Structure 1
Amino acid sequence: MSAIADTDLTESRPLDRRDAKTLVLSALGGALEFYDFVIFAYFAKTLGHLFFPPGTSDWVAQLQAFSIFAVGYLARPLGGLVMAHFGDRVGRKRMFTLSVFLMAIPTLIIGVLPTYASIGVLAPVLLTLLRIVQGIAIGGEVPGAWVFVAEHVPRHRVGLACASLSAGLTVGILIGSLLAAALNARLSEAEMLDHGWRIAFLLGGVFGFFAVYLRRWLSETPVFARMRERKELATELPAWVVLRDHLPSVVLSMVVTWVLTAAIVVVILMTPTLMQTAFHVAPARAFAGGSLAALALCIGCVLGGLLVDWQGKARAMLVGSLGLAVSTYALYLDLVAGGSNLFPLYALAGLFAGVAGIVPAVLVAAFPPAIRFSGISLSYNIAYAIGGAATPVLVGYLAKSAGGLGPAHYVGLVALVGVGSAIYMMRQRETP
């Protein structure tokens, strides 16, 4: 596993105002963009009924909508590789701004898209195409954002920097969850089907264009500027260099990304909907629990980053993975028993889903600066395409099996993989 080059980041200086400005603006822009990507999940049940033939059962409608949600993950590698190529060649900032612009446009269009009742089968086709564009955008956004903030701060604060960005992304999930909860509380089911769901997507389009504006105030990373000045930029195709010279780092990065996928997609994004369909929890209560978990996730990401800077990536990954498995089982066992402790247990699961704040530090350290964007993008997006595309459909099916514990079994299995990755890093004699 490649380490961050000694000359890559300033080691001794503390965080300053410029660092704080970069972290805040990056996190806020990321929150607005990630809201656009995940809001689909919170309205999966509604979209399933509106964009597919009428008369479909709740469970089948949900499964169909989750399938379109998953398509966005399949599109991530394409956007990630193209944006990463130019990010390693022409600059991090340009791609950082382009990705959020590409997210805002399809989100806005979804908000005005005709449904199946108006245009028939063309409705799910158009929804799928727009979801693909969203996937392309997010494929460049997340790896580019981690690289961007990591290359702006001192090396001993990379964990906190990446985690703060991840927390910003999860704020986007929190905004989506709060809005979904508010709309479901204020509007009737008929009103949600009529126009309520459109409000969420139209707001997302506005959020996206505001994020584009915010990123005008950011500057190129010092690491990239220094490489460009010294003519140290990659001369070969960056993705080829990654596969040829850094395959062990690619494998490790894909494995830890799988853990992140389980934490975010299953625990945070899917569980509020699964509560309603598999455990018959009232929508308002399910989304309120989801909002609490999303808030806990934001806190967990920051705590995970601090743990990385304090104890190292391997130990942090070990703690996060074990906590994710235990807390998810506790949540689903409680749901099977009636959900009397839903709020505290969902908050605990959300806190340990903060392993998502530990993963980016592993990815950033795995690749040298000249091909870092491409290395992270290739590993992260391919792993997310596989795990993210299969997970919604698989977990949606598992929710009907194993006495309702199917989703917890899946998260537990993936968390064990995370434990294995932590042990591997320890054996590589990682320096805390």
Structure 2
Amino acid sequence: MLDHSRSTRIGTAELEKKRRDARKAVVAASIGNGLEWFDLVVYGTFAVTISRLFFPTHDEKSSLLLAFATFGVSFLMRPLGAVVIGRYSDKAGRKAGLMLSIVLMFVGTLLIAVAPTAATIGVAAGIIILTARLLQGFSAGGEFASATAFLIEYAPDRKAFYGSWQVATQGAAILLAGLFGFVLNNYLSTQSLESWGWRIPFIFALAIGPVGWYIRTKMDETPEFLATEKSKAPLTEAFVANRGRLWAIVGVVALCSVANYLALYMPTYAIVNLDMTKSAAFASTLIFGIMMAVCAPFVGALADRIGPARIMTFAAIGTLIAALPLFILLVNVPTIATMICIEIVFGFLATAYFAPLPALMASIFPPQIRTTGMSLGYNIAVTVFGGFAPFILTWLIASTGSLLAPSFYLLAIAAVSLVSLTVVRRVYKES
């Protein structure tokens, strides 16, 4: 009896230590993930200003298209970053991949923060922005999967809950970027905003990078990685031996990617197409960020009880039902109250779909190729479906003349993801 009691205390102590390590892993992994998303969302938030400063043309819509094209082109680097950093993480360790990605993201942010405008150096200004975005895209290609593997492999239990903090920090990044957009656009003159104000959030991001790098240096490699026999060819294993899992995940990730980048696009959509005020537009971004940051851990905890794929299926069906009616409402009643209500619904659906995703992705790939598989699946989907979403939506609206075009795109992607989730549940037996 004494031996049993003693072993119980030892087991409890070991579990508590593992949970403390998991909480430290949340901070180490999430801060870099938050930096990545903050940079991405800030660029989209200030797209109108950036288009004028770095891609000036005689037509404002053409300048905006160039700014969003630069945003989208950077996503072409994501699959390359997924291959390089994902493979590196599966061979050298999750920590090594995290260290590399945060340094590259910092350098890309620095280039944007200090870039001279087109009025100073002409076309070269746009090239600098493009270079910075390509570097950030390469970094982001390996960040999400390396951070997710790091979190999941440290978690002793409640893996969906711990993985959901990836999503919560993305919501916090969207919220913070929205705050910068709201404050700077409302309290600075157009001249001040264009001369120096737009640089403030990028300078702020520069302060996060070194903090994240320092925290990551203090973490040990994950026990699961150390105990796993290393793959000699993780890229080949992911593309050949696990190709079915890879393409299923591409389809699953599509919806969360489009939903997130649609949220990023909404302020521009509201200002340019609905003639809404900047304060109303950026308020909507704040609501979406709050929903994601607050709700993600609760959804993750629920996913540990009933299964990630089940929750994601309900969220995908909800998106199919709600997308078109909500956009019809917004187009016909373009008020701040309507915008806030719509962002609450979209924010909840996006969080319900995205929060369980890290745990689902980590469980579907074997440990020896986990980062490579997740990196490729995630970034192929983000590149194909999400990265060019702002550009595609701007082009669709201009070409069709329909302000409902964003809802049609969202409906199509939701259908793709719902089919992919069905494959994951029935073929790979993931709940």
Partner Cα separation in structure 2 for residue 185 and residue 420 of structure 1 = 43
Work out the CA distance in 2 between the residues paired with 1:406 and 1:390: 14
Aligned twin of 1:151: 153
| Distance apart, 1:330 and its partner CA | 4.2
Q: Is the 8 A contact 1:30 1:211 kept in 2?
A: no
Distance 1:389 1:79 in 2: 14
**Aligned pairs (5 A) from 1:32-431:** 32-57=35-60, 59-154=61-156, 156-227=157-228, 232-235=229-232, 237-266=233-262, 268-340=263-335, 341-354=338-351, 355-400=353-398, 401=400, 403-428=402-427, 430=429
Q: Which amino acid aligns with 1:424?
A: V
Post-superposition Cα deviations, 1:280-314, rounded to whole Å, max 9, x if no partner, equal 11111100111111111223433432332122132
2-structure distance, mates of 1:186, 1:214: 34
Structure 1 pair 428/402, CA: closer, same or farther in 2 (3 Å)?
farther
Give the Å deviation of 1:142: 0.7
How far off its partner does 1:389 sit? 3.5
Displacement after TM superposition at 1:13 (Å): 4.8
Whether contact under 8 Å (2:71, 2:388) holds in the other structure is: no
SS in 2 for 1:151: helix
Q: Are the equivalent residues in 2 in contact too, given 1:331–1:349 (CA < 8 A)? A: no
Aligned 8 A contact 1:51 1:124 in 2: yes
Question: In the comparison of the two structures, how many residue pairs are matched?
Answer: 414
Q: Distance in 1 between matches of 2:141 and 2:424?
A: 26
Q: Conserved in 1, the CA contact under 8 Å of 2:77 and 2:141? A: yes
Measured at CA, do residues 97 and 330 of structure 1 come closer, stay the same or move farther in structure 2, by a change above 3 Å? farther
Give the superposed CA RMSD.
Answer: 2.0
Aligned-partner Cα distance in 2 for 1:169–1:222? 26
Instruction: Report the alpha carbon displacement of residue 402 of structure 1 after superposing the two structures with TM.
Output: 5.9
1-structure distance, mates of 2:319, 2:71: 23
CA pair 84-425 structure 1, distance change in 2 beyond 3 A: closer
Q: Whole-Å Cα distance in 1 between the matches of residues 93 and 45 of structure 2?
A: 34
Per-residue deviation at 1:334? 2.4
Which deviations, in whole Å up to 9, do the C-alpha atoms of 1:41-67 show, x marking residues without a partner? 11111111111235332x222211110
Task: Provide the C-alpha distance between the structure 2 equivalents of 1:304 and 1:327, rounded to a whole number of angstroms.
Answer: 20
Deviation at 1:158, TM superposition (A): 1.6
**Structure 1 unaligned spans of 5+:** 1-9
* Mapped partners of 1:422, 1:28: distance in 2: 29
Q: Post-superposition shift, 1:415?
A: 1.0
Which one-letter code corresponds to 2:81 in the other structure? Answer: G
Q: Aligned partners of 1:429 and 1:71: how far apart in 2?
A: 33
d(CA) in 2 for partners of 1:371, 1:429: 17
- TM-score normalised per structure 2: 0.91
Aligned to 2:4: none
Higher helix share: 2
Given that 2:82 and 2:376 are in contact with CA atoms closer than 8 Å, whether structure 1 keeps it comes out as yes
Amino acid across the alignment from 1:283: K
Equivalent residue letter for 1:375: G
- The answer on whether the counterparts of 1:314 and 1:426 sit within 8 Å (CA) in structure 2 is yes
C-alpha change, 1:387 and 1:107, in structure 2 (3 Å) is same
The residue type equivalent to 2:241 in the other structure is D
Deviations 1:129-158 (A, max 9, x none): 11100001111111111111010113x522
- Partner AA of 1:166 in structure 2: V
The DSSP-based 3-state class of the residue aligned with 1:399 is helix
Percent pairwise identity: 30
Return the TM-score normalized by structure 1.
0.91
Aligned residue for 2:8?
Answer: none
Aligned mates of 1:258, 1:300 — CA distance in 2: 21
